């Protein structure tokens, strides 16, 4: 039976190490505030942890391997903490550790994520479940467990989504489904936490500088992956060519800075789309507009073009 393509990456990319500049101190964050970041051993989570720590915040950096925990703990203002978002016992232990430390917890960043790319009608159910266990149930488990600490501090909850939560296409179904779910998660959670003065945001990155080709190729080799026998062989072959190309993109610090703003700006945005080029902005916003047009198409209560433009203008005023 053909092995399912399973790409385990933090929010689909394993990012290269980059220098982390120290920003101006957060005017809304007197003293040292504690933040937990899941999936902080590599990728966006690692860059976020280093940025926040460099700016004087205390970071609990979630990781699964002893080596990564030790490396994180060696950085000033960072404490590596064992945290697999699929293991409830580790989540409970992390709650205990952070509670007993006595700092409280101001911020939670649900960053841990994996990517599974495969045609929806061919993907093995075990691998589909793996995708959802990490990207969907993971934020749910962690948020529920740490909610009392966040409520006590009137803090912030931030989730790393993706523009794939708006877009999708061949092979991206499982991953996009998991990230689209985070859109609903964010909106519902924001409404429910508002009564406790807790603010909720989602960061939606595009493609950022990474070693994605090398990491995916190594994993595929370990899985003895083959495209033979698939109804989508041409799509899979193109993807195989794409992942082996050296195609660096934007600076991941842009994404980490969006997370910093979501955590510490006085009036954070609900959504932060962070993309490295105009094309990714065009296709993402274009897809949202296309969906609006489809919802409005040939239904009993359709809006005219002028009415839609007026609604858009009002939304832009409300979200400057």
Please determine, for residue 154, whether its predicted confidence score (pLDDT) is greater than 80.
yes
Write out the two tokens for 289: 């507009």
Q: Does 175 participate in catalysis according to the annotation?
A: yes
Q: Mark residue 171 as left, alpha or beta (left: phi above 0; alpha: psi -120 to 50; beta: remaining).
A: left
As a whole number, mean pLDDT of residues 89-109 equals: 97
As a whole-number percent, the residues of the chain with pLDDT over 70 amount to 84
Q: What is the pLDDT of residue 128?
A: 94
Q: Domain extents for the chain?
A: 6-276, 278-320
Residue 90, both tokens: 């580790």
Q: Calculate mean pLDDT across residues 14-30.
A: 41
Q: What pLDDT sits at residue 116?
A: 86
Q: What is the DSSP letter of 270?
A: S
Checking if the pLDDT of 1 tops 90, the result is: no
Give residue-wise pLDDT tens across range 217-235: 555 667 777 888 899 999 8
What pLDDT is attached to residue 115?
A: 86
**pLDDT above 60: residue 301:** yes
Residue 10: pLDDT over 60: no
Given this model, what pLDDT does residue 2 score?
Answer: 47
Query: Is the predicted pLDDT of residue 22 greater than 70, yes or no?
Result: no
* CA distances for 139 relative to 52, 112, 117, 181, angstroms: 20, 8, 20, 11
Note the pLDDT of residue 212: 46
Please, which contacts does 313-320 make with residues 24 or more away whose CB atoms are closer than 8 Å? 319/269
pLDDT of amino acid 75: 97
Q: Which of 60, 106, 118, 175 is catalytic?
A: 175
CA-nearest of 21, 238, 220, 235 to 119 is 235
The per-residue pLDDT for range 187-200, each reduced to its tens digit, is 999 999 999 999 99
pLDDT higher than threshold 50 for residue 121: yes
Query: What is the pLDDT at residue 211?
Result: 44
Q: 170 and 122 in contact (C-beta within 8 Å)?
A: no
Q: For 29-75, how does the pLDDT look when each residue is reduced to its tens digit (9 = 90+)?
A: 456 899 999 999 998 999 999 999 999 999 999 999 999 999 999 99
Report whether pLDDT(8) > 70: no
The pLDDT value recorded for residue 19 is 45
Q: Are 162 and 115 in contact (CB under 8 A)?
A: no
Q: What are phi and psi of 238, to 5 degrees?
A: -65, -40
Q: pLDDT confidence of 28, banded at 50, 70, 90?
A: very low
Higher pLDDT, 11 or 230: 230
Each residue's pLDDT tens digit, 265-289: 999 999 999 999 999 999 999 999 9
In the CATH hierarchy, which top-level class contains the domain 6-276? alpha beta
Detail the DSSP E strand segments found in the chain: 6-7, 34-37, 58-63, 78-82, 107-110, 115-116, 156-160, 199-205, 271-274
Q: Give yes or no for residue 16 having a pLDDT over 80.
A: no
Token code pair at residue 57: 């915040």
């Amino acid at each position: 039976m053909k092995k399912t393509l399973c790409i385990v990456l933090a929010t689909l990319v394993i990012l290269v190490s980059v220098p982390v500049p120290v920003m101006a101190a957060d005017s809304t964050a007197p003293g040292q505030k504690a933040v937990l970041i899941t999936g902080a051993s590599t990728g966006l989570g690692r860059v976020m942890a280093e940025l926040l720590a460099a700016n004087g915040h205390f970071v609990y950096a979630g990781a699964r391997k002893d080596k990564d925990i030790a490396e994180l703990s060696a950085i000033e203002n960072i404490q590596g903490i064992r945290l697999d978002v699929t293991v409830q016992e580790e989540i409970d232990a992390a709650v205990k550790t952070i509670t007993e430390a006595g700092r409280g917890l101001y911020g939670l960043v649900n960053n841990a994520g994996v990517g599974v790319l495969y045609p929806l009608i061919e993907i093995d159910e075990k691998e589909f479940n793996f995708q959802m266990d990490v990207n969907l149930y993971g934020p749910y488990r962690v948020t529920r467990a740490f909610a009392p600490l966040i409520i006590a501090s009137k803090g912030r909850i931030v989730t790393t989504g993706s523009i794939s939560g708006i877009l999708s296409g061949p092979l991206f179904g499982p991953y996009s489904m998991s990230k689209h779910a985070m859109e609903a998660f964010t909106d519902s959670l924001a409404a429910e936490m508002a009564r406790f003065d807790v603010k909720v945001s989602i960061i939606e990155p595009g493609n950022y500088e990474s070693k994605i080709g090398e990491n995916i190729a190594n994993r595929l080799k370990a899985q003895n992956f083959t495209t033979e026998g698939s109804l989508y062989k041409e799509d899979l072959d193109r993807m195989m060519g794409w992942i082996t190309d050296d195609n660096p993109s934007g600076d991941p610090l842009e994404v980490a800075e969006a997370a910093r703003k979501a955590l510490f700006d006085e009036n954070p945005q609900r959504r932060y789309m962070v993309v490295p080029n105009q094309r990714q902005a065009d296709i993402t916003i274009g897809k949202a507009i296309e969906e609006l047009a489809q919802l409005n198409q040939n239904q009993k209560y359709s809006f005219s073009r002028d009415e839609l433009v007026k609604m858009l203008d009002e939304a832009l005023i409300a979200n400057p």
